Amino acid sequence: MGLFDRLFGKKEEPKIEEVVKEALENLDLSEDAEPALTEAEKVPQEDAEVESSEEDLLQEEENQETVEESQDSEPVVEVSQEEVEELPNSEEVPEEENTELLETVEENSSEVLEVERPQVEETVQEKYDRSLKKTRTGFGARLNAFFANFRSVDEEFFEELEELLIMSDVGVQVASNLTEELRYEAKLENAKKPDALRRVIIEKLVELYEKDGSYDESIHFQDGLTVMLFVGVNGVGKTTSIGKLAHRYKQAGKKVMLVAADTFRAGAVAQLAEWGRRVDVPVVTGPEKADPASVVFDGMERAVAEGIDILMIDTAGRLQNKDNLMAELEKIGRIIKRVVPEAPHETFLALDASTGQNALVQAKEFSKITPLTGIVLTKIDGTARGGVVLAIREELNIPVKLIGFGEKIDDIGEFNSENFMKGLLEGLI
């Protein structure tokens, strides 16, 4: 079964036995639903009501007599005002202590409320649906408006469709290839109405990502030390992603260490150090303006000596000076291999999804500088440009392996193409 069929295949009709069973379960058998009484049944019931009312009257009279007798028998005790003042009252609480007591009660009640209000954890699919909402609604609205404007399939239809796809950030090449395939499908099926091609468009988008069926989305964890090198321009969420991943892997029971190799930007080192403090993992840093490769070497040696499971290395992202950046990354790569010959096991490029086609340009440039094994897609929850994933897949064939869902510390996870395509296209067909 293909990816499209797994995501959007027809639902099976329920069996007749299940329908009957559900109908029986929904029957109202509660006490409120009383059956209608026959005339013969009504008469005894009215008699019973009369008898019960007479018994109630007799009971009330007996209770009244008992109260009167008790009032007659009890002596009246007069208490003077002086005696009342001398009676011991409950201890008065000073105003200050009373205020403290109220504050304590309020604090305790708020704590109880917090305990009683359980945090509902999102499923992975719910995170995809939430973070892709803007992309899905934007693309869906444009697609629906597009089909509403056309009454027939002609050349203008295909030209407008290609423009719509480009605006949805799926990339020029993707839009061009998809439009050509749809032209062929329309002739093959002799499609005259636009709605006949709606499902075909979605099928083609899914097939485009599926390709030969090999996604290579999994992260290549090693039995011993796994070294991950992170590259990307400043401001795309690279350092934040490393911090969130450190939390995720530590929660999974792994020994994690971070290396701050972006030594030319003091803010980057401080940010990574703060993440290390926050998630309680060690961070290897060097003196200001130190050689990044020397800091990486220290980190590699410490990771091997301390039996670290996952070492994540943050690097500079000065893409405007490609020659220097290339030389720096090549040197870092040589230092890593000097300690662990087969490392780095993953080289991730962090991309900001909200930059759309700009992200695609960055991916092309970085792929020329260093071999990339995967992409970390960040900030997808705040943009309608999630279609850039399709463009990266088609034009660069670099798999997205990690995705950021939002700002919370656990809003990052391993990319899953089925969850992504379902979140992107659900409800469009």
* CATH 1.20.120.140 domain residues, the chain: 125-210
Q: Distance between CA 415 and CA 429 in Å, rounded?
A: 24
The total of other beta-carbon atoms located within 10 Å of residue 77's CB is: 5
| Residue pair 335/297 in contact by the 8 Å Cβ criterion | yes
Dist CA 314 CA 239 (whole Å): 7
CB 376 within 8 A of CB 245: no
pLDDT at 429: 55
The backbone region for 216, taken as left when phi is positive above 0, alpha when psi lies in -120 to 50, beta otherwise, is left
Local structure of 167: helix, strand or coil: helix
**Residue 359: CB partners within 8 Å, gap ≥ 6?**
351, 352, 353, 388, 392
What is the CATH topology of the domain spanning 226-425? Rossmann fold (3.40.50)
Q: Which homologous superfamily does the CATH classification assign to the domain defined by 125-210?
A: SRP54, nucleotide-binding domain (1.20.120.140)
The residue type found at 429 is: I
Mean pLDDT by 10 residues, the chain (429 residues): 57 52 56 45 45 50 50 45 44 48 45 44 78 72 78 83 80 83 80 74 75 73 95 90 95 96 87 95 91 95 96 87 85 94 95 84 87 89 71 81 86 82 68
CB atoms within 10 A of CB 164: 18
SS3 of 290, please?
coil
Q: Give the phi and the psi of residue 410 in degrees, each rounded to 5.
A: -100, 10
Record the pTM: 0.67
How many other CB atoms sit within 10 Å of the CB of residue 390? 24
CA distances from 299 to 155, 252, 312, 332 (A): 59, 22, 9, 11
d(CA 345, CA 222): 8
Q: How many CB atoms lie within 10 A of CB 212?
A: 5
Structure tokens belonging to residue 279: 């998630």
> Dmax over Cα atoms in the chain, in whole Å?
110
333-342 long-range contacts, CB within 8 A, separation 24+ = 333/229, 333/370, 334/293, 335/293, 335/296, 335/297, 335/300, 336/227, 336/229, 336/296, 336/300, 338/297, 338/300, 339/297, 339/300, 339/301, 339/304, 340/225, 340/227, 340/300, 340/304
Strand 400-404 vs strand 412-414: parallel, antiparallel, or unpaired? antiparallel
Provide the edge-to-edge strand list for the sheet that holds 256-260. 283-284, 256-260, 310-314, 226-231, 346-352, 374-378, 400-404, 412-414
- CATH 3.40.50.300 maps onto the chain at 226-425
CA-CA distance, 157 to 148, in Å (whole number)? 11
